[in-house]
């Protein structure tokens, strides 16, 4: 990449620096930088799912209908207790198996189904090969389910924190229950929910480092590949175990991401508390 | 929901019908010069060159899947890919779970490597720390031969074992000679071969699911062809210069 520079510029930069510039911009490293997209996609889409599941969970928990409350609290209590790594591995694989099971009933011949003792999937046509995008989407849904449980609790708590007088006043104005919920209750809920939601978001960001468990070539997997020792000249630069350095870069990346998130949440909180009596509810 | 399932089933049936000749090949991507991720970020190496050549000859449309070594067989069985080309030696133990094509690399001695100047009594090894890559023929051999009185450490990749040897955490490594040759040559004299060669394994072949007989025959046919016309010899010489010009197969 830097071979094209004019000679005087090369001399100015120096051979050593030129070599390292070249090394850090080779295809392998570019693939690493590009893989940030998987981490950010998982974080953002995962958070969207988490918010969706959180709102559903909180609504169920607030419901006047007892079985709905049971489902809501069952979801939050069970999922919050399961380690996220476990769920992250379990959900996509279980989903794939289930899809293959259903697919097998549709495409395998009865003979194949009967004779396939111990073979999975029962016939080759029922085999579903997940590509990176599909794994990424399953990962987002898994993150959504896990952090949705935390989010549901945060939102549930925030809904109860909205002063009762506000809701009564809204009803006195003649608003319908839907109007009260949407215009007053949920609108004011955000101020109380944001500090908790920012916690959930940071936990979710940390969990995006698990993507490599699902064969997604994310920043963690590339850092491992790039840092792995190499002793064969035909395979590129010979170097000892450098994973330490690459992991350090990841550490800094996540810290910067946290820092940026805090700024965004501070801005969101300012916006949500405009005109609210609770002013700086942090 | 039901419509969705039928649509998915139809789609799956359609794609398998129209691309019957497309297969995926699993490789480790961390075993230079056999297979590795090159500077451009893509898989490269002896097996990638050979695999692409074999696929062209057998008119298969091949894509490469990088998979960690320790789960490479289970993921073949599970159908994540259809063949393994990852420097995998043909052994009777592995043949119980998968089939192999004819070998595309002749049986090759495994060798010991140690820091330069160190000597060992190979007839009676004891108190030695031996590094191997997990789930390899060398790991099985070391476990069988040196279990008592020695420490056997297994690593995820061969390179990690070498890193630990360089750091002084290991006394010996047992690995494929074909993998070690370039490493020793590039170590600037700090590492050297020691002790006897160990002949284990029946050469390296393409790993396939037991049910895929048709694919196995296809691979066997093109491997035989590549052996006959010298293509395979040329590729071995290209990637393993210390082997010389061959011929490697009778």
Nearest CB to B186; choose among A27, A102, A233: A233
Q: Considering chain A, what percentage of its residues have pLDDT values greater than 70?
A: 96
Predicted pLDDT of residue B12: 55
- Inter-chain touch B6–A125, beta carbons under 8 Å: no
- Inter-chain touch A231–B162, beta carbons under 8 Å: yes
pLDDT in tens, A179-217: 998 999 988 999 999 999 999 999 999 999 999 988 899
pLDDT band at A227 (very low <50, low <70, confident <90, very high): very high
> How many domains are contained in chain A?
1
- Inter-chain touch A103–B186, beta carbons under 8 Å: no
Predicted pLDDT of residue B17: 46
Flag whether A182 is in a domain. yes
- Provide CB contacts within 8 A for A158, sequence distance 6+: A189, A190, A191, A192, A193, A196
Contacts with A99 from chain B: Cβ below 8 Å:
8
- Inter-chain touch A231–B186, beta carbons under 8 Å: yes
Residue of A nearest to B156 (CA): A228
Contacts with A107 from chain B: Cβ below 8 Å:
9, 12-13
Residue A114's CATH number: 1.10.3720.10
Nearest CB to B32; choose among A125, A217, A234: A234
Flag whether A243 is in a domain. no
Flag whether A7 is in a domain. no
Flag whether A107 is in a domain. yes
Looking up tokens 């997604």, which residue turns up? Answer: A216
- ipTM value: 0.83
Rounding to the nearest 10 degrees, give the CA dihedral for residues A22, A28, A32, A37: 110
Interface contacts A/B by beta carbons within 8 Å: 91
Q: Which domains does chain B have, with CATH numbers?
A: 7-106+202-243 (3.40.190.10), 110-198 (3.40.190.10)
- Mean pLDDT for A161-185 is 93
Contacts with B78 from chain A: Cβ below 8 Å:
120
Looking up tokens 């002013």, which residue turns up? Answer: A279
Alpha helices in chain A (DSSP H): 7-13, 15-24, 27-34, 36-62, 66-81, 84-107, 110-115, 132-161, 164-172, 177-179, 187-207, 219-227, 243-272
Contacts with A27 from chain B: Cβ below 8 Å:
38-42
The reply to whether B168 touches chain A by the CB within 8 Å rule is no
Per the structure, the complete domain to which residue A97 belongs is given by 34-215
- Inter-chain touch B78–A232, beta carbons under 8 Å: no
A95 to chain B, closest Cα gap in Å: 13
Flag whether A193 is in a domain. yes
CB contact at 8 A, A168 and A70 = no
Predicted pLDDT of residue B27: 97
pLDDT band at A134 (very low <50, low <70, confident <90, very high): very high
Rounding to the nearest 10 degrees, give the CA dihedral for residues B204, B210, B214, B218: 0
Looking up tokens 């609210």, which residue turns up? Answer: A276
Mean pLDDT, consecutive 10-residue stretches, chain B (250 aa), reads: 55 50 93 94 96 96 94 90 95 94 95 94 92 95 93 94 93 95 90 94 94 94 96 95 87
What pTM was computed for the model? Answer: 0.86
Any idea which of A11-15, A210-214, A248-252 has the lowest mean pLDDT? Answer: A11-15
B223 to chain A, closest Cα gap in Å: 25
């Amino acid at each position: 990449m830097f071979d094209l520079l004019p000679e005087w510029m090369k001399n100015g930069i120096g051979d050593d620096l030129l070599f390292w510039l070249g090394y850090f911009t080779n295809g392998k490293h570019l693939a690493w930088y590009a893989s940030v997209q998987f981490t950010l996609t998982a974080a953002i889409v995962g958070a969207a799912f988490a918010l969706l599941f959180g709102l559903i969970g909180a609504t169920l928990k607030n419901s006047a209908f007892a079985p709905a409350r049971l489902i809501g609290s069952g979801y939050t209590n069970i999922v919050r207790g399961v380690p996220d790594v476990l769920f992250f591995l379990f959900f996509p694989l279980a989903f794939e198996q289930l899809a293959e099971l259903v697919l097998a009933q549709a495409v395998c011949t009865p003979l194949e189904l009967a004779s396939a003792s111990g073979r999975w999937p029962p016939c080759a046509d029922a085999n579903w090969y997940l590509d990176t995008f599909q794994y990424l989407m399953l990962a987002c849904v898994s993150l959504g389910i896990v952090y949705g449980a935390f989010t549901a609790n945060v939102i549930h708590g925030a809904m109860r924190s909205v002063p009762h007088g506000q809701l009564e006043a809204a009803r006195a104005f003649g608003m319908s229950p839907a109007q009260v919920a949407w215009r007053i209750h949920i609108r004011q809920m955000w101020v109380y929910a944001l500090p908790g939601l920012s916690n959930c978001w940071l936990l979710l960001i940390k969990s995006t480092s698990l993507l490599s468990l699902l064969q997604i070539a994310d920043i963690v997997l590339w850092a491992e590949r790039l840092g792995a020792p190499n002793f064969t000249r035909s395979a590129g630069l010979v170097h000892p175990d450098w994973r330490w350095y690459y992991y350090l870069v990841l550490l800094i990346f996540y810290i910067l991401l946290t820092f940026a998130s805090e700024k965004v949440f501070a801005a969101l909180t300012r916006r949500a508390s405009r005109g609210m009596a609770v002013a700086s509810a942090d | 929901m039901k419509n969705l399932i039928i649509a998915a089933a139809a789609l799956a049936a359609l794609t398998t019908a129209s691309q019957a000749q497309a297969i995926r090949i699993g490789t480790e991507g961390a075993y230079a010069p056999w297979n590795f991720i090159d500077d451009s970020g893509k898989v490269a190496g002896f097996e990638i060159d050979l695999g692409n050549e074999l696929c062209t000859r057998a008119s298969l449309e091949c894509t490469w899947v990088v998979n960690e070594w320790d789960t490479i067989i289970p993921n073949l069985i599970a159908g994540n890919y259809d063949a393994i080309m990852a420097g995998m030696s043909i052994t009777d133990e592995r043949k119980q779970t998968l089939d192999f094509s004819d070998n595309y690399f002749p049986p090759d001695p495994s060798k010991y490597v140690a820091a330069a100047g160190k000597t060992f009594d190979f007839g009676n090894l004891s108190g030695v720390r031996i590094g191997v890559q997990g789930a390899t023929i060398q790991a099985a051999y070391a476990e069988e031969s040196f279990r008592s009185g020695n420490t056997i450490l297994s690593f995820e990749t061969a390179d990690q074992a070498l890193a630990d040897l360089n750091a002084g955490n290991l006394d010996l490594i047992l690995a494929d000679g074909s993998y070690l040759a370039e490493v020793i040559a590039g170590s600037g004299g700090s590492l050297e071969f020691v002790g006897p060669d160990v002949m284990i394994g029946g050469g390296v072949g393409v790993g396939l699911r037991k049910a895929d007989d048709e694919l196995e025959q296809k691979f066997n046919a093109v491997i035989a062809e590549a052996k006959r016309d010298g293509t395979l010899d040329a590729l071995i010489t290209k990637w393993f210069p210390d082997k010389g010009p061959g011929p490697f197969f009778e």
